[in-house]
Amino acid sequence: MAPDVPPPIPQAETSTQRTPDRISAVLGNATLLGIGYLLMRRPRTAIVSLLGSIALLALVAVFPHMLVWRLLLALWWAALVLHTWRSASRASGERPGPRGGRNPVWRDRVLTAVCLVLVTPAWLLLDTWAIARDAAAAHAGGDCDRAVGSLRWLGAAHGLVDGSATARGQEEREACELLLAALDASDSAAGAEQLGAYLEHPGALWDGAGPKRAELLLDEVLRSDPDPREQEVPDAGDPAPATVDEAFTQLSATLEDTPGESRRVRAVAESFLADLADVPPCKATAIDSVLHARTWQSPALAEPMASAADQVPVRKFDCAEALTATNPEAAGPVYQDLVQTHPEHELAADATEGLLAGGAYCDHPAAYPDAPAYKGAGPHAMRTLGMDPDEYGFPDSWRAGAVAETVLVTCVEGPDKGGYQQTCHYDPGADQLLSPFQQSAKVDFYASRFTVKAYSLKTGEPVADYSAEIGDPCPAVLEYETSPYLDIVPGEYESDFTDAEARSIFDRLMD
């Protein structure tokens, strides 16, 4: 009987299908590109993995300031690595635990560390780019809350892979903090000052900072006068005109540096010029004198100025009218300026009348082009300042009513003490005192002198400047003022004159 032959030992069935290397698969998927799944022959899973990675990377790039997308991306990466490790282990039949010399544990760990070393800088570079891009876009758009939220994620690790971008981000963050402080300031002046510091900062990106600073400066001017009824002329120390000049200089600088801000610049200028209607007229006049003394090249400023120019003489006239009641001496220069700068305006006649009625024309003469010319034979209708025509019986042909009828404006000073005429002796009355040994009162008579300066109203230029002396000395009875307790005859006396003599002063102007 033949000996029993032991059954053959079953041989491990060889497969022609190659099992993917677990480490290669893990490294492939650690790139977030789905390469590991392709090595494992799972193309559909690879596509889903790639699309998921692209979506999360895009969300982090667009919204780097939002923590949720960063956390989801980290979880997604960890999930891909863990899932690949387990899937590759099952596919190769390996069990967790120490392996033989052909595939030691340290090999897996070293390769994993190499993967992290390669992926981490790439991720940090991408993260730095995304943060800087989002922060710069938000900052340039004026959204510094979002910019600061993004830049907060930049750390020392980002600086190791891209130091210049990190340093630039730090500058932008400092600038944004200045901008946020300026926009949150409760005081317009403080906000404007902080915006000035922002504009000088190297990290500033918002082009709208210039117009915003000008807006805050102008807002401070509008709010600085709590009583719109006050009509006093601003004194030399009033900061309003200088502040307005600074604001519009800022707008001009903005147009030179960033022409794309012209619409915003125009809006600031138009808004302020419209709000000047609520400013006390004398303060608004001082502001107008600053704005309209400059030449504006850009249409964004020149056109609003031209549109508001018709209100300048109106405010100037309102200022002069208000000053006539409160400070007449200050009204004259304002009337004069209105007539000189806007001679064709409909208010020029009223302003000229204000100069004449207030008696300020002699100190502040101005031309009124619609007045009749001083030429040809007289009489020439005139307005007389310094002498009452009614008191001395001036003929109607000499008197001008409306400004449009006035040929001459005569400025009269006197009567003053003129030249010596004669010495006369008077017998004293019963109560009059004389010096000892004096039998009569000796009185020296002097002429009454008037100084006349005549202006042509049409040109505002003087046409005559002379003096005249009148008066008849030695009247039969000398009338004078004295004390009720002591009657002393004056030693000098300005001769009295008649109405006819007073009128004769102007004969040369009427011929």
| H or E element, residue 67 | helix 67-92
For 273-327, what is the HEC assignment?
HHHHHHCCHHHHHHHHHHHCCCCCCCHHHHHHHHHHHHHHHHHHHHHHHHHHHHC
Tell me the C-alpha distance between 430 and 94, whole Å: 153
The one-letter amino acid code at 238 reads D
Residue that terminates a domain, selected from 305, 334, 363: 334
Contact 328, 360 (CB under 8 A): yes
Task: Average the pLDDT over 8-32 and give the result.
Answer: 61
**Lowest mean pLDDT, pick from 53-62, 98-107, 498-507:** 98-107
Give yes or no for residue 13 having a pLDDT over 50.
Answer: no
Among 307, 334, 361, give the residue marking a domain's end.
Answer: 334
Mean pLDDT for the stretch of residues 25-30? 75
Give the span between the Cα atoms of 44 and 366, in whole angstroms.
Answer: 93
Q: Are residues 329 and 387 in the same domain?
A: no
Average pLDDT over residues 372-401: 93
DSSP string, 213-259: HHHHHHHHHHHS-S-TT--PPP-TT-SHHHHHHHHHHHHHHHHHH-G
Say which DSSP state 34 is in.
S
The answer, yes or no, to whether residue 274 has pLDDT greater than 70, is: yes
pLDDT digits (tens, 9 = 90+) for 409-449: 999 999 999 999 999 988 877 666 666 656 778 899 999 99
| Range with lowest mean pLDDT among 117-126, 143-152, 297-306 | 117-126
Residue 498 lies in a domain: yes
User: From CA 42, how far away is CA 35, in angstroms rounded?
Assistant: 10
- Does residue 317 or residue 29 have the better pLDDT? 317
Q: What are phi and psi of 452, to 5 degrees?
A: -125, 130
Instruction: Indicate whether 487 belongs to any domain.
Output: yes
Contacts with 320 (C-beta within 8 Å, 6 or more apart), sequence order: 331, 334, 335, 338, 351, 354
Contact indicator for 449, 417 with CB cutoff of 8 Å: yes
Q: Is 288 a domain residue?
A: yes
* CA 334 – CA 321 distance, rounded (Å): 9
CA dist 490 and 45 (Å) reads: 128
Domain final residue, candidates 334, 360, 392: 334
- Domain of residue 249: give its range: 207-334
Whether residues 390 and 294 fall in one domain: no
Per-residue pLDDT, averaged over 463-475, amounts to: 95
* Domain count within the chain: 2
pLDDT number for residue 100: 46
Q: What 3-state class would DSSP assign to 424?
A: strand
Q: Which among 97-106, 162-171, 224-233, 281-290 has the top mean pLDDT? A: 281-290
**More confident position, 425 or 483:** 425
Q: Using 50, 70 and 90 to split pLDDT, how confident is the model at 159?
A: low
106: CB partners within 8 A, 6+ apart: none
Whether residue 221 is found in the same domain as residue 278? yes
Whether residues 222 and 329 share a domain: the answer is yes
Rounded CA-CA distance 38/55 in Å is: 19
Domain membership of residue 411 (yes or no) is yes
User: Are residues 405 and 305 part of one domain?
Assistant: no
**Which stretches of 347-425 are DSSP H helices?**
348-357
Of 164-168, 292-296, 364-368, the poorest mean pLDDT is in 164-168
Whether residue 302 sits in one domain with residue 389 = no
- C-alpha 59, offset from chain centre: 41
Q: Quick one: 320 and 394 in the same domain?
A: no
340 alpha carbon, distance to own chain's centre: 28
Residues 412 and 325 in one domain: no
What the block records as the tokens of 320 is 């002069």
Residues 217 and 284 in one domain: yes
Asked if pLDDT for residue 30 goes beyond 80, the answer is no
